[in-house]
Amino acid sequence: MRTKLSIATVRGEFLRQVEAISNENLLACNQCGKCSAGCPIASTMVDILPNQVIRLTQLGIEDVLDSQMIWACAACMNCVAHCPKGIDLPRIMEALRLVAMQKKGDRMAVNQVPLEALGEIPQLAIIGGFRKYTI
Amino acid sequence: MSIAYFPGCTLSTNAKGYDHSGREVARALDIPLTELPNWQCCGATFPLATDNSMAFIAPTRILAQAQKVDGHVTTLCAICFHVLRRTQYFLDHRPEMLERINWFTEEPYEGKMRVSHFLEILRDQITWKGVRERVTNPLKGLKVAPYYGCLLLRPQKEIGLDDSDNPRILHDCLNALGCEAVDFPYQDECCGSYLLVSKPELPQKLAESILLSARKHGAQAIVTACPLCQFNLDYPQRLGGGGHMAQGGLPVLYFTQLMAVALGLEPASWGMESHYIDPRPLFANPKG
Amino acid sequence: MVDRALVIGAGIAGIQASLDIANSGYEVVLVEKEPSIGGHMAQLSETFPTLDCSQCILTPRTVEVGHHENIQLYTYSEVESIDRDEPSGDFLVRIRRRAAYVNWDLCTGCGECQEKCPYKAESWFERGIGRRKVVYTLSPQAVPNKPVIDAEHCVYLQSKWELSAGRVPAAIGAKGNPAKPKCGACAKFCPTGAIDFDQQDTIIEERVGAVIVATGYDLFPMAKLPEYGGGRIPDVIDGLAFERLLAASGPTSGKVVRPSDGKVPREVVFIQCCGSRDPEHGMPYCSKICCMYTAKQAILYKHRVHDGQAYVFYIDVRAGGKGYEEFLNRAQVEDGVVYLRGKVSKLFREDGKIIVKGVDTLSSRMVEIEADLVVLATAVIPRIGNSRLAEVIGLTLDEQGCFNADNEEFNPMASNVPGVFLAGAALGSKDIPETVAQASGAAAKVLSLFQGRKLKDKVEAYE
Cβ pair B195:A72 closer than 8 A: yes
Structure confidence at residue C173 as a pLDDT band (50, 70, 90): low
Cβ pair C366:A82 closer than 8 A: no
Q: Do C65 and C209 fall within a single domain?
A: yes
Boundary (domain end) residue, out of C334, C357, C380: C380
Nearest chain A CA: its distance from C312 CA (Å): 14
Cβ pair B185:C355 closer than 8 A: yes
* pLDDT value for C390: 96
Nearest Cβ partner of A33 from C279, C346, C359?
A: C359
Size of interface A-C (CB pairs under 8 A): 71
* pLDDT value for C373: 98
The dihedral built from the CA positions of residue B7, B9, B12 and B15, taken in this order, carries a sign that is negative
Q: Do C281 and C373 fall within a single domain?
A: yes
Q: What is the mean pLDDT of residues B199-217?
A: 91
Nearest Cβ partner of A122 from B15, B45, B156?
A: B15
Cβ pair C226:B185 closer than 8 A: no
Q: What is the mean pLDDT of residues C68-79?
A: 97
Residue B2: half-sphere exposure toward Cβ, Cα within 13 Å = 12
Mutate to test the interface with B, among C281, C348, C354, C357 (most CBs of B within 10 A): C348
- Cβ of residue B157 closer than 8 Å to a chain C Cβ: no
A108 contact residues in B (CB cutoff 8 A): 197-198
A132 contact residues in B (CB cutoff 8 A): 45, 194
Q: What is the mean pLDDT of residues C117-131?
A: 91
Number of domains in chain C: 3
- Domains in chain A: ranges and CATH: 7-104 (1.10.1060.10), 108-135 (no CATH)
Q: Do C365 and C235 fall within a single domain?
A: yes
Q: What is the mean pLDDT of residues C411-438?
A: 96
Q: Please state the φ and ψ torsions of residue C238, each to the nearest 5 degrees.
A: -100, 175
Nearest Cβ partner of C350 from B163, B165, B185?
A: B185
CA C374 to CA C233: how far, in whole Å?
10
Asked if omega into B155 is within 30° of 0 (cis), the reply is yes
For chain B, helix, strand, coil in percent to 5 are 45, 10, 45
A29 contact residues in C (CB cutoff 8 A): none
* pLDDT value for B241: 44
Cβ pair C361:A51 closer than 8 A: yes
Residues near C346 by Cβ (< 8 Å), separated by ≥ 6?
A: A38, A82, B185, C227, C228, C357
pLDDT beyond 50 at C327: yes
- Cβ of residue A37 closer than 8 Å to a chain C Cβ: yes
Cβ pair A85:C280 closer than 8 A: yes
Residue C339 DSSP SS3: strand
pLDDT beyond 90 at C247: yes
Angle at C196 between CA C193 and CA C202, to 5 degrees: 130
B193 contact residues in A (CB cutoff 8 A): 74-76, 125, 128
* pLDDT value for C85: 92
From B48, which residue of chain A is nearest by alpha-carbon distance? A91
- Cβ of residue A83 closer than 8 Å to a chain C Cβ: yes
C350 contact residues in B (CB cutoff 8 A): 185, 216
Radius of gyration of chain A (CA): 16
| CA-based nearest residue to A127, from A114, A110, A115 | A110
Cβ–Cβ < 8 Å for B21, B227: no
CA C356 to CA C60: how far, in whole Å?
42
Asked if omega into C412 is within 30° of 0 (cis), the reply is no
CA C154 to CA C135: how far, in whole Å?
8
Q: What is the mean pLDDT of residues C93-117?
A: 95
pLDDT tens-place string over residues B82-115? 999 999 999 999 999 999 999 988 889 998 889 9
* pLDDT value for C308: 95
Cβ–Cβ < 8 Å for A20, A98: no
Burial class of C264 by CB neighbour count within 10 A (0 to 12, 13 to 18, 19+)? middle
pLDDT tens-place string over residues B41-52? 999 999 999 888
Report percent pLDDT > 70 for chain C: 98
* pLDDT value for C174: 58
Q: What is the mean pLDDT of residues C45-70?
A: 95
Cβ–Cβ < 8 Å for B80, B59: no
Cβ pair C361:A31 closer than 8 A: yes
Alpha helices in chain A (DSSP H): 7-10, 13-22, 34-38, 50-58, 69-72, 78-82, 89-104, 115-120, 123-133
- Cβ of residue C336 closer than 8 Å to a chain B Cβ: no
CA C96 to CA C93: how far, in whole Å?
10
From B187, which residue of chain C is nearest by alpha-carbon distance? C348
Cβ pair A37:C342 closer than 8 A: yes
Burial class of C124 by CB neighbour count within 10 A (0 to 12, 13 to 18, 19+)? exposed
Structure confidence at residue B11 as a pLDDT band (50, 70, 90): very high
The dihedral built from the CA positions of residue B140, B145, B151 and B156, taken in this order, carries a sign that is positive
Cβ pair A30:C315 closer than 8 A: yes
CA B143 to CA B258: how far, in whole Å?
12
Cβ pair C355:B165 closer than 8 A: no
From B15, which residue of chain A is nearest by alpha-carbon distance? A122
* pLDDT value for B245: 47
Boundary (domain end) residue, out of C325, C360, C380: C380
Q: What is the mean pLDDT of residues A100-122?
A: 84
Cβ pair C279:A84 closer than 8 A: yes
Task: With respect to residue C105, please indicate whether it lies within any of the assigned structural domains.
Answer: no
A87 contact residues in B (CB cutoff 8 A): none
B216 contact residues in C (CB cutoff 8 A): 350
Nearest Cβ partner of B190 from A22, A76, A94?
A: A76
Backbone φ/ψ region at C64: left (φ over 0), alpha (ψ -120 to 50), beta: alpha
Structure confidence at residue C183 as a pLDDT band (50, 70, 90): confident
Sheet containing C90-97: order of strands: C77-85, C90-97, C202-208
B228 contact residues in A (CB cutoff 8 A): 122, 124-125, 128
Q: Please state the φ and ψ torsions of residue B236, each to the nearest 5 degrees.
A: -65, -15
pLDDT beyond 60 at B275: yes
* pLDDT value for B286: 52
Q: What is the mean pLDDT of residues C245-261?
A: 94
* pLDDT value for B2: 87
Cβ pair A22:B165 closer than 8 A: no
Mean pLDDT of chain A: 91
From A87, which residue of chain C is nearest by alpha-carbon distance? C280
Angle at C444 between CA C439 and CA C445, to 5 degrees: 100
Q: Do C154 and C291 fall within a single domain?
A: no
Report percent pLDDT > 90 for chain A: 65
CA C20 to CA C276: how far, in whole Å?
33
Q: How far is CA C347 from the centre of its chain?
A: 28
From B186, which residue of chain C is nearest by alpha-carbon distance? C348
| CA-based nearest residue to C386, from C424, C419, C433 | C424
Nearest chain A CA: its distance from B206 CA (Å): 7
Report percent pLDDT > 90 for chain B: 75
* pLDDT value for C34: 96
Domain range summary for chain B, segments of one domain joined by +: 3-118, 128-283
* pLDDT value for B200: 86
- Cβ of residue C357 closer than 8 Å to a chain B Cβ: no
Q: Do C34 and C77 fall within a single domain?
A: yes
Residue type, C355: I
* pLDDT value for B285: 61
pLDDT beyond 90 at C454: no
Range of the domain at C233: 220-380
CATH of the domain at C24: 3.50.50.60
Cβ pair B166:C230 closer than 8 A: yes
| CA-based nearest residue to B173, from B229, B127, B137, B226 | B127
From C227, which residue of chain A is nearest by alpha-carbon distance? A82
CA C151 to CA C154: how far, in whole Å?
5
Cβ pair B165:C226 closer than 8 A: yes
Nearest Cβ partner of B193 from A80, A107, A128?
A: A128
Q: Do C55 and C116 fall within a single domain?
A: no
Structure confidence at residue C176 as a pLDDT band (50, 70, 90): low
- Cβ of residue C226 closer than 8 Å to a chain B Cβ: yes
Structure confidence at residue A119 as a pLDDT band (50, 70, 90): confident
What was the ipTM of the complex prediction?
Answer: 0.92
Q: Which helix or strand (DSSP H or E) is residue B23 part of? A: helix B16-28
| CA-based nearest residue to A10, from A70, A51, A49, A55 | A55
pLDDT beyond 70 at C177: no
Q: What is the mean pLDDT of residues C268-282?
A: 96
Long-range (24+ apart) CB contacts under 8 A made by B54-58 are B54/B104, B55/A131, B56/B87, B56/B90, B56/B91, B56/B97, B56/B101, B57/B101, B57/B104, B57/B105
Mean pLDDT of chain C: 94
Q: What is the mean pLDDT of residues B50-74?
A: 89
Task: With respect to residue C195, please indicate whether it lies within any of the assigned structural domains.
Answer: no
CA B269 to CA B280: how far, in whole Å?
12
Q: Please state the φ and ψ torsions of residue B174, each to the nearest 5 degrees.
A: -60, -45
> What are C's interface residues with A at a Cβ cutoff of 8 A?
227, 273, 277-282, 315-316, 341-346, 357-361, 364, 366
Q: Do C339 and C370 fall within a single domain?
A: yes
pTM to 2 decimal places: 0.92
| CA-based nearest residue to A22, from A33, A14, A32 | A14
Cβ pair B165:A81 closer than 8 A: yes
Residue type, C274: C
From C357, which residue of chain B is nearest by alpha-carbon distance? B185
3-state secondary structure C241-252: HHHHHHCCCCCC
Cβ–Cβ < 8 Å for C98, C203: no
Q: Strands, DSSP E only, in C148-231? A: 148-149, 171-172, 177-178, 202-208, 210-213, 217-219
Residue C405 DSSP SS3: coil
Q: Tell me: domain B3-118, CATH 1.20.1050.140, correct?
A: yes
* pLDDT value for C457: 82
pLDDT beyond 90 at C393: yes
Structure confidence at residue C221 as a pLDDT band (50, 70, 90): very high
Mean pLDDT of chain B: 91
From B185, which residue of chain C is nearest by alpha-carbon distance? C348
B224 contact residues in A (CB cutoff 8 A): none
DSSP labels for B189-240? Answer: S---TTHHHH-THHHHHHHHHHHHHHHHTT-SEEEES-HHHHHHHHGGGGTG
Nearest chain C CA: its distance from B189 CA (Å): 11
**Could you count the other beta carbons within 10 Å of the beta carbon of residue B146?**
27
Task: With respect to residue C388, please indicate whether it lies within any of the assigned structural domains.
Answer: yes
* pLDDT value for B243: 45
* pLDDT value for C230: 95
Structure confidence at residue B288 as a pLDDT band (50, 70, 90): very low
pLDDT beyond 70 at C161: yes
CA C101 to CA C151: how far, in whole Å?
8
Architecture of domain B128-283: 3-Layer(aba) Sandwich (3.40)
Cβ pair A77:B154 closer than 8 A: yes
Residues near A79 by Cβ (< 8 Å), separated by ≥ 6?
A: A34, A35, A36, A38, A39, A50, A89, A90
Task: With respect to residue C104, please indicate whether it lies within any of the assigned structural domains.
Answer: no
Q: Please state the φ and ψ torsions of residue B74, each to the nearest 5 degrees.
A: -130, 160
pLDDT tens-place string over residues B242-267? 444 445 689 999 999 999 999 999 99
Nearest Cβ partner of A36 from C227, C281, C359?
A: C359
Cβ pair B155:A72 closer than 8 A: no
